[in-house]
Amino acid sequence: MTRLSLISAISIGSLLAGCSSTQLDSKVEKADFFADNALGNPLAVVQHPAGIHQDGITYVSYQGPLEDPYVASYNHETKEWKGPFKAGVSELGKDPTRKKKIDNHGKPTMLIDDLGYIHIFFGGHGGDARHGKNPLGDVHFGGNKHTVSKRPGDITEWEELDSLPPFGTYNQAIKMDNGDIYIFYRHGAHRSNWVYHKSTDHGRTFGPAVSFLKHKKRKDIKANDSWYAFVSKGQGDDIIVSYDYHICWNGGAGVNGRGHTTERHDAYYMVFDTKNNTWRNIHNEKLNVPVTREVADEKTLVARTGGSGYWTFNGSAHLDEKGYPHIATNIGKDLGKKTGGPKQTSYFRWTGTEWVGGKPVNTQARLDNTDTRGDFIIKSPTEVSFILGYQENNEGVISYFNSVDGGESFTKGKELLRRPKAGWGLTALIKDAHPDARMIVAEKPRGTNWRKVYLVGDNGPIQRTKTDALLLKPTDKKHLK
C-alpha cells in the first residue's frame, strides 16, 4: 500500500470510528413499506392466516407478480428483514387471453407445522375443466396448490406437494394443539360446497374432503344457495365458523335483472368439535353436516342484516375469555351496482344468552358512505379493539377503534398509517401476533395495479431499508398490458 493510500485508509477509518452505528444507520433512507411488488388485491381477511409470529420472527405472505405467492420475514430482536421469496407458481395470472388479467382469488394462506416447516396454500379460483369434473360443485379458473419450505423456518426454498384437489378457493388453515392440521375452503366456484381436509402427518398428506356447508338449487327463485365462511381455532378441540349467505342468481334473474352479483345476507355461527367429529350451534344443539340454508336459518342465525336492501361481506370471528363468540361482518346498502355499495364493519357478540350488537364500528365512515375492513382484538367480554382500514378526506387510513361497553359505542384510537389518495387491502390478524406486527396491509394507490405492502403494529409500520423494499422490475409490469 502506498503512503497516500495508507493515509486515506487511516482517515476513512478514523471517520468511521467517530460515527456510531446509530449515526450511520440514520443516514440510510428507510421505507415504511417492506415490498412494492404486491399485485391487484394481494391481501384479504378471508384467506388466513397470511402471517404468523413464532419464536420472535413474523412471517408474512402476499400475492406478487403474476399472482404468485411471496413470503418475507422480520426478526423482532435483530430488526432484520429477509425476502420476499417466491414460494410457488400459481396457475392464475399467466393467461394473456383472459379479459380480466388479474383474478385475485389465489392469495396465499400460511401455516407452520409442529416440525417448523412453513406451508403455503394458494392459486385456486375453483379449478377449471382441465382438472376434470368437480364432484362438489362447479369450476371457474386456476388450481389450488400447496407448497412447503424445504427446511424448518427457512423461506428461501420451497417444494410443491400433491396433497389437495385443485378446486379450492379461499383457503383457511388451522393447526390444533395436538398437531393435526385442517384446511378449509370452498370446493369450486360459487355453486360449490364448503369443505375441510384433515392431516395427521404435519400437512404432508390430507384426508378426503368433508362438506360442512351445502350449495343447492333453490325451488322458489332462479338462484342457488351459496356461502362465505371464516374459520378459526376455538377453545380446546373446537373450531369456530362464522358465515353469511350468498344468493347466487342465475341468468337474467337477481336484483333489477342484473344476473349474478355479489349479493350476500345475514350472519351465522356454529362450532366443530374435532375430537368427537361433531357440529353444534350456540345452544349446544347437534347439527348434521353439510348444513343447508334451511337449517342455517333455523339453528345457526346470529342476525338478519337489514333485508334485501342491505348486503353483507363476512368478516372474522374470535372467542373471549368465557368462550363466547364475537363476530365482525360488513354491512352496507345496495346502491344498485353489480357489487353493491360500500360496507361498514359491524360487530356482534354473544352474551351467554343472546346475540347483541350490529352497530357500525366507524360511524363516520357510515356517514361518509365509505368502505371499512379489518379485524379485532378481544380484551374482555365487553372490551374490544378493531384495526380498520378506510378512507377519510381522500386519504387512506389504518386506525384503532375501541369499545369498552360491549360494542354500544366505539371511539377512534391510535392511527397507525395514513396515505394520500389510497385505499387498503388488509389481512386478518397475524396469528400469535407480536404487538409491533399485528396485520399486513397493502396500499392501493389510484392508476396502478401495483401495491406497497406494510407490516403494521401498535407503533405503526415496521420500516425497512428503502433499497431493499423497492423490488419492482420493468419485466414485472409487462404482463399487465
Choosing from 53, 105, 119, 434, which is the catalytic residue? 105
Choosing from 170, 196, 347, 400, which is the catalytic residue? 170
Q: How far is CA 22 from the centre of its chain?
A: 36
For the question of residue 105 being annotated catalytic, the response is yes
Query: In whole angstroms, how far apart are CA 234 and each of 240, 292, 380?
Result: 6, 23, 16
For the question of residue 170 being annotated catalytic, the response is yes
Of the candidates 370, 416, 433, 463, which has an alpha carbon nearest to the alpha carbon of residue 30? Answer: 463
Dist CA 461 CA 439 (whole Å): 10
Of the candidates 362, 364, 423, which has an alpha carbon nearest to the alpha carbon of residue 391? Answer: 423
Neighbours of 115 (CB within 10 A): 10
* Buried-state track 205-229, b at ≥16 Cβ within 10 A, e below 16: ebeebbbbbbbeeeeeeebbbbbbb
Residues labelled catalytic: 105, 170
